[in-house]
Structure 1
Amino acid sequence: MAGGITETGELYSPFVGMVYMFNLIVGTGALTMPKAFATAGWAVSLALICILAFMSYMTTTFVIEAMAAANAQLRWKRREQEEVQESDSTSDYSDDDVITRGRSEPVESRPILSTQSRGAVDHFDIVERVEMGQMASMFFNKVGVNMFYICIIVYLYGDLAIYAAAVPMSLMEVACGNQSCSAGTLSYNDTDSCWGPIRRKDAYRIFLAIFTVLLGPFTFFNAQKTKYLQIMTSLMRWLAFTMMIVLALMRIGKGEGEGRPPVASFSGVPNLFGVCVYSFMCQHSLPSLITPISRKGRLGALCLVDYCLILGFYALLSFTGIFCFASDRLRDMYTLSFTADCQVLDVAGLRYFLGLFPVFTISTNFPLIAVTLRNNWKTLFHREGGSYFPWVVDRLLFPALTLAPPVAVAFGTHDLEALVGITGAYAGTAIQYVIPACLVYCARRHLEPVVGQRALESHAHRSPFTHSGWVVFVLVWAASCLVVVTANIILTETKD
């Protein structure tokens, strides 16, 4: 439910908003990108990531325009209600006014900006936080709303499966590896011994069980992320990323880089596509991020700068990785490439830090994503005018339905590259491309008869991709990508 700006927390400057967006986008997906780059080839990877950065920026502007349209729609509804109330309050006192109103054009058919252009931008100011679910309810029909929630739910399931696999895998590597470097590099077969008769994959499942027992109960309650927890995890993230880039550059500078990535390997492109889509994901969180920005006059430029910086960072992280490590030594979780190679990092304390880095940062996000998924399930089955369900269903079944599938997937596989690729390629494509394109198209059609064509095309938050052909292009692009990814998966399975 939308609320005023007071519900979004304190206002912050555009620069702080740019930093928050950078931190929002750069997350777990970045750790799987170097391996995907090495598999697809450096030239193909660079071209594809540039294209996907542009596509993600375009749909980000679509979401911002839809947010502005939603704010204008809410203001129009309030103005309509106020005029009805004023009409009711004066009808008993002025018969002439009633006759005049009866002859005039109905309130609902007059554009709210038809009488004056001044203040047109004010109607589209983003001052109320309208989440994507509410925008879907405002601009989509019932089928569209249900499809939106299904896409969000599938994406969040993929997110939880990635998190549930990444944490125990990192713990397994630290517990079963040799962080002191005294015995050289260990092999990484899942059937190898970890502690006596316990194999590495057994240790992984033990850690997954512990992870589920410790963090799973939060799904049954509400969780809140504190400001200080955000600061701590952000500092750890940037310390780890900076350390990995510097270490890889130092090794390459000394002429010790082992990476010889191919120029192009198209068999790795479908998975790279999913990884990159996942790594640029931010559209579903934009309302909470954009609304508190104090000065929103240049949101498009702000987002463009952010995307350029993120693109440069991803390229730097991935290219240093693929030229520093041989392809067979690059791990699904990039941090593990450093903890597994004592020649790159021979300081035990730093090796432990990088090895445990995903554990601390991902563990803080898991309960929040789980609660979000649980609430989306409730919203999907919500019945107007009534409670959700009996207590057992509401407090036990929905949380269990949230927690069980991703944990089951994580028990079955810890192939993070595949999990990220599939999540990004399917649910990520819908959230990053299809939903924003449909939202902005429906918002334009919905608002045009209300505010007028001129106001709709001139407000400050209008996407620079104004022509409806861009919307069609995004939808065709998304459909084409899904066809290519699905065909590749089918061909791969057939060969195997």
Structure 2
Amino acid sequence: MPNSVGLHPGEQYSRLTGLIYVFNLIVGTGCLTLPAAFAAAGWGLSAVGILLLALVSYLTTTWVVESMACANAINHWRRMKQLKKRGQVADELVNRTLENAEADQRSIDTSEDQDEHEEESPLITEGVIERTVGEYYAIQEQIEMGQMAELFYPKVWDKVFYLVLCIYLYGDLAIYEAAVAKSLRDSICNYVSPNCTMALNDTDPCFKNNSDLSRLDVYRICIVGFIGVMGPFVFLNLTKTKYMQIVTTFTRWLAMCIMISWAIVLLAENKGEGHPRFAEITKLPQLFGVCVYSFMCHHSLPALITPVNEKRSILKLLAADYLLILLFYYLLAFTGIFTFASLDDLYTLNFQPDQCHDAHISTFVYALQVFLLLFPVFTLSTNFPIIAITLRNNLKGLCLREGRRYSFFTTRCLFPLIAAIPPTLVGLATSNVEILVGITGAYAGSFIQYVVPATLVYHARKMTLRHIGMGVKNPFSAPLQHPAWLVLTCVWAAVCQVFVTLYLIEEYKTK
């Protein structure tokens, strides 16, 4: 657990800034695959489905926040026990200052019999705790999901969490590589089908005057080139800088606004060619995986929520954030499915320059098309090393024993290679970003977004009730407290994974 008891004022930020960070984290690569998933499942079914998934995602988010508060409370409880054993006053917990403790040692009873009794008794029976109720569940320490798993879960289950998290990060990296390589390939290749009558596939040539290289060949070359440039960063200690965040955020917002505005203009000019179906039940599992991935933020909530300087209304503000994101997704998806007759699995590819019909477009419009085409390259390239280093560190935590010495090759070379090679092989095997997003979201994503928060808050409530008691109320308690909601959420995740598996089997058979 972290040793610090709080963040310095300079490390904190306002609630608005925190919610912007949450918005930017959620609205990432997943939203670029939403329009295609909406078109496949039908606009009516998709509208209801994404609303339901947004509500469930918000519910599990509140459980993560409650678990964060419980983890802080347990750390507070343990720290106070240690201080009492040293004969220090309980008022020290209010001020959180060790230097002024010796002056008031007479205020507590430090007998050994009482200490032994307190090992099993809720600390709320001590009158001094009533003086610290306001800060007892305060979210002041940044306790990551893995640390909470180690604190609350029974033995072995924390390893299961780390394993699933690593699988999710592997999927993330594979999606990043495929999205970047597809964008680079489409910006390089200039071959068009005869008379521009057919859509291109992977077996078509890439260049007009050279049929030796297919589009799939160039895609794989881009994969190798991308990992050759970004792969070495996995061996380093790299952190995202403030300026990198600003540039990435600006680029993302600019690209999203351009795509939405472009589609709205085409619809206003009656140039929309999309005629999506109302519902297609068989494609619902595909939508599920994409939506789960598109609402994922749970694994990063401790890093985003803890620095917020005022957290009293954080659950309501998160609800507002989810509502804004849901409306944004509706706007992006509905404008896309009614504008384009067919949608690429990566929405930005629908805006690439049309070499058949756009011979006389203006330079400004062409520049916008190229910018949108390369948008995934700009944003995902900056995030790739960070995700890869996170995966590398989690793999070390999963496989290495703390305190044991390992060779230079094991610590500095082996785990970066284990983190970088598997997603590269997956990227070389398939360029279907939508399938990668669906699988990652439906399996590892649903486990992290649904099962982990439900089981984590269950064990967190049991531990805090046993050690702290019912007298201190958690101000960050989730709106839904009944255990039935936890069971229902886990059952929901299991049922959805079964349907996704059946869908993938059926898709494999048809191909």
1:175 aligns with 2:188: yes
What SS does the aligned partner of 1:454 have? coil
Alignment correspondent of 1:438:
455
- How many pairs does the alignment contain? 483
Pick the aligned partner of 2:119 from 98, 108, 113: 108
Aligned twin of 1:228: 243
Q: Which amino acid aligns with 1:124?
A: Y
Contact 1:177 1:340 in 2 (8 A): no
Matched residue, 2:278: 263
Aligned residue for 1:189?
201
Per the alignment, residue 363 of structure 1 pairs with 381
Q: Do 2:66 and 2:477's aligned partners in 1 also have CA atoms closer than 8 Å?
A: yes
Q: C-alpha displacement at 1:18, in angstroms? A: 1.1
- 2:82 is equivalent to residue 71 of structure 1: no
CA 1:251 to 1:104, structure 2 compared with 1: closer, same or farther past 3 Å?
Answer: closer
Tell me the alpha carbon deviations over residues 433-472 of structure 1, each in whole angstroms, 9 at most, x when there is no partner: 00111110000001101111232xx321111111111111
> Conserved in 1, the CA contact under 8 Å of 2:191 and 2:205?
no
- 2:429 match: 412
Q: Distance in 1 between matches of 2:386 and 2:183?
A: 20
The alignment status of 1:481 with 2:499, answered yes or no, reads no
Offset at 1:177?
4.0
1:379-432 deviations in Å (ceiling 9; x for gaps): 011313323x32111111111111110000000111000000000000000100
2:419 corresponding residue in structure 1: 402
* TM-score for the superposition, normalised by structure 1: 0.93
Matches of 1:176 and 1:187 in 2, distance apart? Answer: 14
User: Would you say 1:386 and 2:398 are equivalent positions?
Assistant: no
1:253 Cα deviation from its structure 2 partner: 1.1
* Counterpart selection for 1:277 from 292, 311, 314: 292
1:123 is aligned to 2:141? no
Unpaired runs of at least 5, structure 1: none
CA distance in 1, matches of 2:60, 2:453: 6
Aligned residues: CA RMSD: 2.4
Per the alignment, do residues 86 and 263 of structure 1 end up closer, same or farther by CA in structure 2, a change over 3 Å counting? same
Question: How far did residue 207 of structure 1 move?
Answer: 1.1
* 1:52 match: 53
Change (3 A) 1:3 1:20: farther
Q: Summarize the Cα distance change of 1:83–1:419 in structure 2 as closer, same or farther, 3 Å threshold.
A: same
Q: Which whole-Å CA distance do the structure 2 matches of 1:144 and 1:72 have between them?
A: 22
Distance 1:9 1:238 in 2: 27
Question: In structure 1, what is the equivalent of residue 150 of structure 2?
Answer: 137
Q: Is the 8 A contact 2:191 2:206 kept in 1?
A: no
* Corresponding residue SS for 1:76: helix
Q: Alpha-carbon deviations, 1:201-222, whole Å to 9, x = none? A: 1111111111011001111111
In the alignment, the residues of structure 1 paired with residue 307 and residue 197 of structure 2 have an alpha-carbon distance, to the nearest angstrom, of: 49
Q: Secondary structure at the match of 1:142?
A: coil
Structure 1 residue 488 displacement after superposition: 2.0
- After TM superposition, the score normalised by the length of structure 2 is 0.90
The alignment partner of 1:109 has SS state of coil
Cα gap change, 1:171 to 1:305, in 2 (>3 Å): same
Given the superposition, is the C-alpha separation of residues 202 and 8 from structure 1 closer, same or farther in structure 2, using an over 3 Å criterion? farther
Q: What amino acid sits opposite 1:377 in the alignment?
A: L
Instruction: Identify which range, 465-474 or 127-136, moves more after superposition.
Output: 465-474
Structure 2 residue aligned with 1:287 = 302
Question: Taking structure 1 as reference, are residues 7 and 104 closer, same or farther at Cα in structure 2, changes over 3 Å only?
Answer: closer
> Which amino acid in 2 is paired with 1:172?
R
The residue that corresponds to 1:14 in the other structure is: 15
> How far 1:490 sits from its partner (Å)?
2.3
Q: Structure 1 pair 105/401, CA: closer, same or farther in 2 (3 Å)?
A: closer
- Checking the alignment, whether the CA contact within 8 Å between 1:31 and 1:335 is kept in structure 2 is yes
Match in the other structure for 2:87: 86
**1:322 maps to which residue?**
337
Counterpart residue type for residue 373 of structure 1:
L
Distance 2:219 2:8 in 1: 41
**Which letter maps to 2:398?**
L
Matched letter for residue 475 of structure 2: A
Q: Does 1:166 align with 2:179?
A: yes
1:210 paired with 2:225, answer: yes
| Number of the residue aligned with 2:368 | 350
**Partner of 1:240: helix, strand, or coil?**
helix
Letter in 2 for 1:381: C
Distance in 2 (alpha carbons) for counterparts of 1:174 and 1:58: 41
Paired residue for 2:91? Answer: none
Shift of 1:142: 2.1
Letter aligned with residue 375 of structure 2: F
Aligned counterparts, 1:446-457, within 5 A: 446-455=463-472
C-alpha deviations, 1:137-168, integer Å up to 9, x for none? 00012221111001100000000000011111
| TM-fit CA distance, 1:249 | 0.6
Q: Distance in 2 between matches of 1:8 and 1:385?
A: 33
In structure 2, C-alpha distance between the alignment counterparts of 1:482 and 1:103, rounded to whole Å: 51
Gaps of 5+ in 2: 89-100
Q: Distance in 1 between matches of 2:180 and 2:311?
A: 38
Deviates more, 1:56-65 or 1:6-15: 6-15
CA distance in 1, matches of 2:465, 2:339: 54
Distance in 2 separating the partners of 1:86 and 1:470: 43
Q: Is the 2:34–2:291 Cα contact (8 Å) retained in structure 1? A: yes
Question: How far apart in 1 are the matches of 2:284 and 2:353?
Answer: 26
Does structure 1 retain, via aligned residues, the 8 Å contact 2:235–2:413?
Answer: yes
Mapped to 1, the partners of 2:82 and 2:150 lie a distance apart of 20
Distance 1:320-1:402 versus aligned 2 partners, 3 A rule:
same
> What is the distance in 1 between the residues matched to 2:45 and 2:134?
42
Letter in 2 for 1:354: L
